[in-house]
Structure 1
């Protein structure tokens, strides 16, 4: 399985023009231009030399570079190219893949037998945002949904980690638990601190890019990457996002494709929630857990109201106190007539059960619900 000559030539052309794209004043719609128009639009004084290099591109050498990098390639003219990407007016000519070669195959069909959800959000996010993203990733992967994101710090990485943590009977089965889309080559780990996560993803899923091996990410390539994330997914969920955020670009692209968008609500006074709350104001689906995502994504899906955990009465009373906003052992003890020492013991037990979490200041809050993973 490999991309055809013309699509490989196109991918290398975009790589050659990467610096020109970085300097271009307007990039919207540029990637929808054909090859000759792209050279004319971005080549500048170098257009004749670029045209010469383009004409002299050797597909056999290109394939050798891909193989040497440990990647595979595919295009719309080959098997395994995700058909849902064809909805993009500037669909990538080729995809370069690190990891399981068949991890994209389930998304190559025209049907919805293999649903995928994009989970995106802020890099510098609040702690509860990471928790929610991880819980969404784990709940969706456990339900057989592929989680798509961008390997970035914060929400993206948390979603990937959650998907990888899901209990899957066949971790190398037909549906990858998670797919990461990179802004540079699929062999260029960005950020570098994500190397461990990258390694885990390629073991059970895959990492993809439209850029050839070795290409470093640039500013223009991140919003370009976002269109692939939106294109691969049947639904996009924003966990935390500021008013101006790349995550909102992904959500806007998903809406342009006519696909559902969801957002996790947050405090109206927090800047990290302004973008996601704005999506909710404009009609996005309210996402509280993985069940809400499945209900929006899969027609006819319905779930019974979540049942609380089966706890001893003393633990149940403490959990209720935390859910009602009592955040310290003293507050919890005052809420149900106990003593702070007993409340602390109960809170520790609930934390070990994964039902509450403690922040660095020692305050407790209800942990995010994993949704279907707990059913």
Structure 2
């Protein structure tokens, strides 16, 4: 059995699968180590930009559960419906999506193999598992918010400060149909957070995320009650569905993205969007960027690539988050009810633009929108 590889990827989620796919396609000998038995279900809203999907193997189109034609925003009893008009969003189940991506990677995969420790020995890394050590010249940590790779190499900074919970529910056909092609983002049910209702095959993914600073444990305690109450406002109920929670490692500019030939991607790198808590898109993007740096033999280029592709938008997303959740009613009136702003948000969801461009469009169209409000047209 081989024990020495060009690269070891710890974690088989979207970030690890993306890195393994691009590394293997370039001809590198890759080992993926996954703690859990595969396939495994993961709590996740599962909404994904089709633009991002196009950068991955074509076979992944086969795991699409729903195609989305519009987005609905809600605040109390008010709703704004935004047709995507040429944009394309899809929903996926993580167990199917992750497994399909990993199956296309030219990599050896060892599941049910938790990593116990990582250490650098000379110009390579040794990864300790219950099955013994493995060695590689490059190491990619894609092992989530509580990354063993990050801790072992002294790269972890602050613990996650946000939390989300999710459940998959069945709803009466006439209610489920309303969400099948138009996912819902509902604000006002909890401070510094929102409710989502996303289509996922014949079920609905429902959940709440809260992005305030505080204890993740506290979030897990009170959020199920918040979720049940918020769902009732939209004619839905958990009906005993299992609720699963997870920490959200919101983007932190102080988080190191690697050390030498060891790189962190996705949640391990704290790359979750500060505004809406999305992580899957940035896990895939950072996995690809890490693979490109390894293939080029220039791991030192990876942090700058992340700054250019992801971090700039996230910095503006942090500003948007603080503004929106501090003044939700004003932002609803001046932002979400501004057609130019809502179309910009849709462009951002589809990965066409970043949060900085959203802020620019919002500011540029605000005078026009104020005139519309004054005339009773908004």
More helix by share: 1
- Which structure is larger by alpha-carbon Rg, 1 or 2? 1
- When the two structures are superposed, what TM-score results if normalisation uses the length of structure 2? 0.30
Greater fraction strand: 2
Normalised to the residue count of structure 1, the TM-score between the two structures is 0.30
